[in-house]
Amino acid sequence: MNPKNLPESSSSRRTSYPLKRDSDSFSFTTDHGATYKIAFVQDADYVGDLPFANDVYSFILEQISGEYKGRDLRMKQTVIETIGLFLKIYLWP
């Protein structure tokens, strides 16, 4: 295997960005100064009167300031952790 294609070692992995929690969303700022908002919007109307309708949400990732600078592994980790946090806080307390 080419060393350039090896997965990152655990010591080189970066942690997620610090999250700010608002009443209806989360936000974070990248190392490049771009700020993103993550929100989960209840979408019960999308599925009508089905029994699980109140558990249907849309996921929104919105860049609210700054400039996209390409692939950012910390951003990926932040999004993954935020989804887990949302599930833990709102759906599976």
- The CA distance from 79 to 33, in Å, is 17
* Predicted local confidence at residue 68, as pLDDT: 86
* Predicted local confidence at residue 13, as pLDDT: 56
| Average pLDDT rounded to a whole number, residues 59-82 | 93
Confidence of residue 19 (pLDDT cuts 50, 70, 90): very high
* Predicted local confidence at residue 37, as pLDDT: 98
| Average pLDDT rounded to a whole number, residues 82-92 | 89
* Predicted local confidence at residue 35, as pLDDT: 97
Q: Which phi and psi (to 5°) does residue 85 adopt? A: -65, -45
* Predicted local confidence at residue 1, as pLDDT: 41
- The CA distance from 63 to 57, in Å, is 19
Instruction: Provide the b/e sequence for 31-48 (b: ≥16 CB within 10 Å).
Output: eeebebbbbbeeeeeeee
